Amino acid sequence: MVARTAVVVGGGIGGLSAAVGLGRAGWDVTVLERVAVFQPVGAGLVLQANGMRCLDALGLGDAVRAQGRPDMSGGARRADGRWLARIPADDLERVLGTSAIGVHRAALHDILLSALPAGTVRTGARVSAVTADGAVTYESSAGPVHIGADLVVAADGIHSFVRRSLWPEAAGPVHVGVRAWRGVTPVWDGDLVVAITWDRGAEFGIVPLVDGRVYWFAAVNAAPGGSAEDTRIPARFLRWHHPIPALIAATGAVLRDDLACLDEPLPAYVRGRVALLGDAAHAMTPNLGQGANQALEDAVVLAAVAGQPDGLAAYDSQRRPRTQQVAKASRMIGRFGQQLENPVAVAARNTLMHLIPPRLALRSMAGYADWHPPAPLARGGSFDA
Ligand SMILES: Cc1cc2nc3c(=O)[nH]c(=O)nc-3n(C[C@H](O)[C@H](O)[C@H](O)COP(=O)(O)OP(=O)(O)OC[C@H]3O[C@@H](n4cnc5c(N)ncnc54)[C@H](O)[C@@H]3O)c2cc1C
């Protein structure tokens, strides 16, 4: 049988996981990535139950667990450390059947890369033209290269070139009025209560990693702008509860982003032989911690259906409603949580959080992560074509 060919545009978490899945389903895959050399991103990530199930389906769950730490989130706190809502550490795992894992992004990226046959990923390959019938041009050091594929997976991120080319009518990303900082504290051997902390228009989250490292993120309401090089954390966080000031003080390099998302849902993720995946299809705010987890879901579903008759239509109909619902919920949680500024609204929110029974809070948190890959993949069967 002649292998079907797939070109994946973008070597982020979405593109690499799609490449692994398609490869295991028998596709001959090439990944085109514009950067010449992958630079390790100095940040972590929480892989929730849905993302971990996808990695299990790709045969990589155990490798990720070995490089990560169960994420035992204890709930939500105020800036002075008082609890708004507590969730017993093991309850989420009990409800979902698998623990969320805090992992360094570089570790996850390396695991995905090393699952691909040598030569699959071409770096320094910026895609500069694509058509709906699968013709792709990329710029290399030797000049433009033209290739064709039975399937093109556009996993080129929030500012997707492929989306702009083939969905010219679609609205682009919008800023959400939030600036975020991310850092990894290299060594931490103090006590660590894991929680998200909210104050007026601001939040701070703590995620332990392996080897004593701690990933943290902070966000405040802010208009986009200023210098991306200016990574100073607002002084207000230095007055927040322990260990927030100490974690910040112990961190070197920090990443800064003005957050954006695709606010207008796309009417289709597929055009001809081209399928959008991950942030290219549904860039969402990070408030539910689901962006990368949804990209992993896209990848395993695409790998499961792409070879079937009308497979891309099935991908579109399975992925679009779910991802757009998660994106909408994530935006709403951001508005209700970190972005809320009005003192009366904040007080009402805090009272509500005290009143909600932990069981209910748990169920709503678990809801978005409670997803299983298509049955044959969940059994680990159909990838070994
Ligand atoms: C502050 C913050 C915190 C977050 N926290 C979480 C979290 O805890 N959990 C979670 O699940 N998600 C989180 N996310 C979201 C998550 O990071 C993204 O959803 C995820 O990384 C998207 O992966 P992707 O592969 O779709 O896109 P990307 O990671 O953006 O990858 C796109 C790739 O395509 C390449 N590319 C672009 N254009 C071209 C071109 N023309 N030719 C070739 N290559 C190209 C880029 O170089 C890049 O390597 C967070 C995001 C932010 C900003």
The answer to whether residue 25 is domain-embedded is yes
List, chain by chain if needed, residues with CB within 6 Å of any ligand 1 atom: 9-15, 32-35, 45-46, 126-127, 155-157, 161, 180, 182, 217, 257, 278-280, 286, 289-293, 295
For residues 287 and 282, give the distance between their C-alpha atoms in angstroms, rounded to a whole number. 14
The answer to whether residue 76 is domain-embedded is no
* DSSP E strand stretches across 79-133: 83-86, 101-104, 121-122, 126-130
Mutate-to-test residue for ligand 1 from 7, 122, 279, 290, highest number of ligand atoms within 8 A of CB:
279
Nearest protein CA to atom 39 of ligand 1, as residue? 156
Place of tokens 């600036």: 179
Domain count, the chain: 1
Residue 244, H or E segment: helix 244-249
For residues 94 and 303, give the distance between their C-alpha atoms in angstroms, rounded to a whole number. 29
CA of 17 to the centre of ligand 1 (A): 12
Residues 6+ apart with CB under 8 A from 365: 87, 92
Per-residue pLDDT tens for 145-172? 999 999 999 999 999 999 999 999 999 9
Return the DSSP state at 308.
S
pTM: 0.96
pLDDT of 1 over the 70 cut: no
CA 261 to chain centre: 12
Which of 259-268, 330-339, 357-366 shows the highest mean pLDDT?
A: 259-268
Say if CB 369 and CB 9 are below 8 A apart: no
**CATH number of the domain that 151 lies in?**
3.50.50.60
Residues 6+ apart with CB under 8 A from 28: 3, 4, 5, 6
Place of tokens 């939030």: 178
CA of 159 to the centre of ligand 1 (A): 10
Calculate mean pLDDT across residues 199-220. Answer: 95
Nearest protein CA to atom 20 of ligand 1, as residue? 292
CA of 47 to the centre of ligand 1 (A): 14
Per-residue pLDDT tens for 282-340? 999 999 999 999 999 999 999 999 999 999 999 999 999 999 999 999 999 999 989 99
One DSSP character per residue, 136-151 reads: EEEEETTEEEEEE-SE
The answer to whether residue 92 is domain-embedded is no
Say if CB 194 and CB 71 are below 8 A apart: yes
Q: Which atom of ligand 1 is closest in space to residue 161's alpha carbon?
A: 41
Per-residue pLDDT tens for 94-149? 778 888 899 999 999 999 999 999 999 999 999 999 999 999 999 999 999 999 99
CA of 13 to the centre of ligand 1 (A): 7
The answer to whether residue 234 is domain-embedded is no
Q: Which atom of ligand 1 is closest in space to residue 295's alpha carbon?
A: 26
Residue 320: C-alpha distances to residues 67, 89, 297, 317, 326 (Å): 31, 32, 11, 6, 10
Lowest mean pLDDT among 98-102, 127-131, 218-222, 376-380: 376-380
Residue (of 100, 107, 247) closest to 182 by Cα position: 247
The answer to whether residue 138 is domain-embedded is yes
For residues 22 and 86, give the distance between their C-alpha atoms in angstroms, rounded to a whole number. 41
Burial 233-246 (b: 16+ CB within 10 A, else e): beeebeebbebbee
Sign of CA dihedral 130, 262, 271, 269: positive
Sign of CA dihedral 1, 118, 114, 128: negative
The answer to whether residue 225 is domain-embedded is no
pLDDT of 251 over the 70 cut: yes
The answer to whether residue 179 is domain-embedded is no
Domain that holds residue 21: 5-71+102-174+262-338+359-378
The answer to whether residue 253 is domain-embedded is no
Q: Quick one: pLDDT at residue 384?
A: 43
Say if CB 57 and CB 377 are below 8 A apart: yes
Mutate-to-test residue for ligand 1 from 38, 128, 138, 156, highest number of ligand atoms within 8 A of CB:
156
Residue (of 194, 241, 198, 221) closest to 84 by Cα position: 198
Contacts of residues 86-89 at CB distance under 8 Å and 24 or more positions apart, as own/partner, are 86/358, 87/358, 87/361, 87/362, 87/365, 88/358
CA of 360 to the centre of ligand 1 (A): 31
Return the DSSP state at 186.
S
Calculate mean pLDDT across residues 66-83. Answer: 88
Q: Quick one: pLDDT at residue 88?
A: 72
Which of 2-6, 91-95, 177-181 shows the highest mean pLDDT?
A: 177-181
Place of tokens 């005290």: 354
